[in-house]
Amino acid sequence: MDKTFVMIKPDGVQRNLIGRIISRFEDKGLRVAAIKFLRLDEEMARKHYEEHVEKPFFPGLLEYITSGPVVAMVLEGRAVVEEVRKMMGATNPKEALPGTIRGDFGIEIGRNIIHGADSPESAQREIGIYFGEEDLVPYQKAEECWLYE
């Protein structure tokens, strides 16, 4: 199965959306392979968002992402990066379609509830920031024979 990294950001945690968001992924048939509740420190945040460090919005992003706890997780499924990206919706909640996580729960781009890796390469890099190989729990769900041909 393919893997991706997903993070419920501080606003999603503070707004009590953890269960509702995870349920959407599980309802889709995706597997949770690892999950962690933590608070990012500045070093971890800089490593995660390294491609944005020089951008003008980075100081605000850094302050926001370290402002409270997050939920980091690894999800598994076929084409899981693409599936999760569709389920999250556009980065800017004002452009996200109803039925997506950001479309249903987000208001502003700076408080957009959730992060998901944008490619298999990013997923692998981001998973490595938060989880070791020993943290990933391999298993098969009984329903998978009804999900995949």
Per-residue three-class SS string for 29-72: CCEEEEEEEECCCHHHHHHHCHHHCCCCCHHHHHHHHCCCCEEE
Question: Quick check: is 115 catalytic?
Answer: yes
- The one catalytic residue among 101, 115, 116, 131: 115
Euclidean distance between CA atoms 135 and 132, whole angstroms:
5
Instruction: Tell me which residues are annotated as active site.
Output: 115
